[in-house]
Amino acid sequence: MKVPSFALVAIAVGSLHATPILSCPATAAQCNGNEYAVMELSNIGSTFQLELDIHILSTYTGDQFTDFVNTVQLKSFASGTITNTSIVSAPGGLSFWDLRSPDELNANGCDGGSGGTLRLCDQAKSPSLGAAFGLGDTLVWVFQFDTTGSLNSTSELKYRYVDSEGEKIGSLGSYDIGIQTNTVENPEPVSISLVGGGLVVLGFLRRRRRA
Protein backbone atom coordinates (compact mmCIF):
# COMPACT_ATOMS: atom_id res chain seq x y z
CA MET A 1 0.00 0.00 0.00
CA LYS A 2 1.40 3.37 -1.00
CA VAL A 3 1.66 5.89 1.84
CA PRO A 4 0.81 9.47 0.73
CA SER A 5 3.92 11.58 1.26
CA PHE A 6 1.86 14.74 1.81
CA ALA A 7 0.34 13.22 4.95
CA LEU A 8 3.78 12.79 6.45
CA VAL A 9 4.77 16.29 5.51
CA ALA A 10 1.65 17.64 7.23
CA ILE A 11 2.71 15.95 10.46
CA ALA A 12 6.07 17.71 10.37
CA VAL A 13 4.71 21.21 10.04
CA GLY A 14 4.68 23.08 13.35
CA SER A 15 2.78 26.20 14.36
CA LEU A 16 3.98 29.37 12.68
CA HIS A 17 3.91 31.29 15.96
CA ALA A 18 4.57 30.29 19.50
CA THR A 19 1.62 30.57 21.86
CA PRO A 20 1.94 33.78 23.94
CA ILE A 21 2.56 33.32 27.66
CA LEU A 22 -0.08 35.42 29.40
CA SER A 23 0.56 37.15 32.71
CA CYS A 24 -1.05 39.42 35.27
CA PRO A 25 0.34 41.34 38.28
CA ALA A 26 -0.06 39.84 41.73
CA THR A 27 -2.98 42.17 42.42
CA ALA A 28 -5.86 41.17 40.13
CA ALA A 29 -7.48 44.58 40.49
CA GLN A 30 -4.45 46.19 38.85
CA CYS A 31 -4.99 44.21 35.65
CA ASN A 32 -8.80 44.43 35.70
CA GLY A 33 -8.94 40.70 36.32
CA ASN A 34 -7.49 39.75 32.92
CA GLU A 35 -4.19 38.43 31.52
CA TYR A 36 -1.82 40.10 29.06
CA ALA A 37 1.04 39.19 26.72
CA VAL A 38 3.34 41.12 24.38
CA MET A 39 5.13 39.16 21.67
CA GLU A 40 7.47 39.98 18.80
CA LEU A 41 5.81 38.76 15.61
CA SER A 42 8.44 39.71 13.05
CA ASN A 43 11.68 41.59 12.53
CA ILE A 44 12.66 42.50 8.98
CA GLY A 45 15.64 44.84 9.03
CA SER A 46 14.62 47.83 11.15
CA THR A 47 10.89 47.03 10.93
CA PHE A 48 9.24 45.22 13.84
CA GLN A 49 5.77 43.95 14.64
CA LEU A 50 4.54 43.53 18.22
CA GLU A 51 1.38 41.67 19.21
CA LEU A 52 -0.57 42.61 22.34
CA ASP A 53 -3.00 39.99 23.66
CA ILE A 54 -5.63 40.52 26.35
CA HIS A 55 -7.21 37.31 27.61
CA ILE A 56 -10.53 37.76 29.38
CA LEU A 57 -10.81 35.77 32.61
CA SER A 58 -13.66 35.20 35.03
CA THR A 59 -12.84 38.23 37.19
CA TYR A 60 -14.09 41.63 36.06
CA THR A 61 -13.97 45.17 37.31
CA GLY A 62 -17.47 46.46 36.69
CA ASP A 63 -20.11 44.68 34.59
CA GLN A 64 -18.70 42.08 32.21
CA PHE A 65 -21.46 42.77 29.68
CA THR A 66 -20.96 46.54 29.43
CA ASP A 67 -17.23 47.03 29.93
CA PHE A 68 -14.90 47.88 27.04
CA VAL A 69 -11.15 48.00 26.49
CA ASN A 70 -11.01 51.60 25.30
CA THR A 71 -7.26 52.35 25.08
CA VAL A 72 -4.02 50.37 25.09
CA GLN A 73 -0.41 51.56 25.07
CA LEU A 74 3.05 50.06 24.65
CA LYS A 75 5.92 52.21 25.89
CA SER A 76 9.73 51.96 26.13
CA PHE A 77 9.77 48.79 24.04
CA ALA A 78 12.79 49.68 21.87
CA SER A 79 16.01 51.64 21.91
CA GLY A 80 16.60 54.53 19.57
CA THR A 81 13.84 56.46 17.78
CA ILE A 82 10.72 54.88 16.31
CA THR A 83 9.10 56.00 13.05
CA ASN A 84 6.49 54.78 10.55
CA THR A 85 4.18 53.55 13.32
CA SER A 86 0.96 51.82 12.28
CA ILE A 87 -1.68 49.35 13.42
CA VAL A 88 -1.77 46.11 11.44
CA SER A 89 -4.83 44.67 13.18
CA ALA A 90 -7.11 45.47 16.11
CA PRO A 91 -10.36 44.14 17.61
CA GLY A 92 -13.31 44.99 15.36
CA GLY A 93 -11.09 46.31 12.56
CA LEU A 94 -8.69 49.21 12.04
CA SER A 95 -11.45 51.72 11.30
CA PHE A 96 -12.52 51.64 14.96
CA TRP A 97 -9.12 52.67 16.31
CA ASP A 98 -6.86 55.72 16.28
CA LEU A 99 -3.11 55.24 16.77
CA ARG A 100 -1.92 58.39 18.54
CA SER A 101 1.81 57.86 18.86
CA PRO A 102 3.62 59.35 20.75
CA ASP A 103 0.80 60.54 23.05
CA GLU A 104 0.67 59.24 26.63
CA LEU A 105 -2.23 57.21 28.02
CA ASN A 106 -3.87 58.77 31.07
CA ALA A 107 -7.29 58.58 32.73
CA ASN A 108 -8.85 60.25 29.67
CA GLY A 109 -7.20 58.02 27.07
CA CYS A 110 -4.36 59.06 24.72
CA ASP A 111 -4.52 62.57 26.10
CA GLY A 112 -1.31 62.99 28.08
CA GLY A 113 0.84 64.89 25.61
CA SER A 114 3.83 63.74 23.60
CA GLY A 115 6.75 64.01 26.00
CA GLY A 116 8.56 61.12 24.33
CA THR A 117 8.73 59.10 21.14
CA LEU A 118 8.75 55.50 22.36
CA ARG A 119 4.99 55.19 22.71
CA LEU A 120 2.25 53.43 20.78
CA CYS A 121 -1.10 54.63 22.16
CA ASP A 122 -4.19 53.21 20.46
CA GLN A 123 -7.61 54.58 21.39
CA ALA A 124 -11.11 53.73 20.18
CA LYS A 125 -12.54 56.35 17.85
CA SER A 126 -15.67 58.12 19.02
CA PRO A 127 -18.49 57.17 19.15
CA SER A 128 -17.13 53.64 19.60
CA LEU A 129 -16.30 52.76 23.20
CA GLY A 130 -13.70 50.20 22.18
CA ALA A 131 -13.45 46.42 22.22
CA ALA A 132 -16.35 44.63 23.89
CA PHE A 133 -15.52 41.28 25.43
CA GLY A 134 -16.94 38.16 26.97
CA LEU A 135 -15.57 35.42 29.17
CA GLY A 136 -12.77 33.50 27.46
CA ASP A 137 -12.22 36.01 24.64
CA THR A 138 -8.72 37.05 23.54
CA LEU A 139 -8.40 40.58 22.16
CA VAL A 140 -5.44 41.10 19.82
CA TRP A 141 -3.64 44.22 18.60
CA VAL A 142 -0.67 44.14 16.19
CA PHE A 143 1.57 47.22 15.98
CA GLN A 144 4.26 47.89 13.39
CA PHE A 145 7.13 50.37 13.58
CA ASP A 146 10.67 51.12 12.45
CA THR A 147 13.41 51.77 14.98
CA THR A 148 16.93 53.13 14.75
CA GLY A 149 17.86 50.87 17.66
CA SER A 150 16.80 47.40 18.73
CA LEU A 151 13.89 45.76 20.53
CA ASN A 152 14.05 45.79 24.33
CA SER A 153 13.38 42.74 26.48
CA THR A 154 10.47 44.47 28.26
CA SER A 155 7.79 47.04 27.52
CA GLU A 156 5.63 49.18 29.74
CA LEU A 157 2.04 48.14 29.16
CA LYS A 158 -0.86 50.47 29.94
CA TYR A 159 -4.60 50.06 29.36
CA ARG A 160 -7.87 51.81 30.08
CA TYR A 161 -11.27 50.18 30.55
CA VAL A 162 -14.53 52.12 30.30
CA ASP A 163 -18.17 51.39 31.06
CA SER A 164 -21.18 51.80 28.77
CA GLU A 165 -21.13 55.55 29.48
CA GLY A 166 -17.51 55.90 28.38
CA GLU A 167 -16.29 56.53 31.94
CA LYS A 168 -13.08 54.93 33.17
CA ILE A 169 -13.64 51.98 35.46
CA GLY A 170 -11.22 49.98 37.56
CA SER A 171 -7.55 50.80 37.63
CA LEU A 172 -5.56 52.48 34.89
CA GLY A 173 -3.31 49.50 34.36
CA SER A 174 0.41 50.14 34.10
CA TYR A 175 3.23 47.64 34.58
CA ASP A 176 6.31 46.25 32.87
CA ILE A 177 5.85 43.08 30.85
CA GLY A 178 8.43 40.90 29.13
CA ILE A 179 8.48 40.92 25.33
CA GLN A 180 8.34 37.33 24.18
CA THR A 181 10.51 36.42 21.20
CA ASN A 182 8.56 34.63 18.53
CA THR A 183 9.92 31.24 17.50
CA VAL A 184 8.47 28.44 15.39
CA GLU A 185 7.21 25.74 17.68
CA ASN A 186 9.11 22.45 17.47
CA PRO A 187 7.06 19.35 16.61
CA GLU A 188 6.15 17.20 19.60
CA PRO A 189 8.37 14.11 20.14
CA VAL A 190 5.54 11.84 19.01
CA SER A 191 5.27 13.83 15.79
CA ILE A 192 9.02 13.52 15.22
CA SER A 193 8.73 9.76 15.71
CA LEU A 194 5.87 9.55 13.22
CA VAL A 195 7.80 11.58 10.66
CA GLY A 196 10.88 9.39 11.11
CA GLY A 197 8.80 6.25 10.76
CA GLY A 198 7.10 7.67 7.69
CA LEU A 199 10.44 8.39 6.04
CA VAL A 200 11.50 4.79 6.65
CA VAL A 201 8.29 3.54 5.02
CA LEU A 202 8.81 5.81 2.02
CA GLY A 203 12.37 4.53 1.60
CA PHE A 204 11.15 0.92 1.77
CA LEU A 205 8.44 1.53 -0.85
CA ARG A 206 10.93 3.30 -3.11
CA ARG A 207 13.30 0.32 -2.96
CA ARG A 208 10.43 -2.05 -3.76
CA ARG A 209 9.47 -0.02 -6.82
CA ARG A 210 13.08 -0.08 -8.04
CA ALA A 211 13.23 -3.86 -7.52
pTM of the shown model: 0.77
Amino acid present at 82: I
- Our separate counts of H helices and E strands in the chain read 2, 12
Classify strands 35-44 and 168-181 as parallel, antiparallel or unpaired. Answer: parallel
Question: Residue 129 CB: number of other CB atoms within 10 A?
Answer: 20
From the list 148, 152, 185, 146, the residue with the least C-alpha distance to 43 is: 146
In degrees, rounded to 5, the angle at the alpha carbon of residue 70 between the alpha carbons of residues 66 and 71 is 155
What mean pLDDT do residues 113-120 have? 76
pLDDT at 61: 57
pLDDT at 62: 60
Given a cut of 70, whether residue 208 has pLDDT beyond it is no
From the list 114, 120, 125, the residue with the least C-alpha distance to 141 is: 120
Q: Which CATH architecture has domain 20-186?
A: Sandwich (2.60)
Given a cut of 60, whether residue 196 has pLDDT beyond it is no
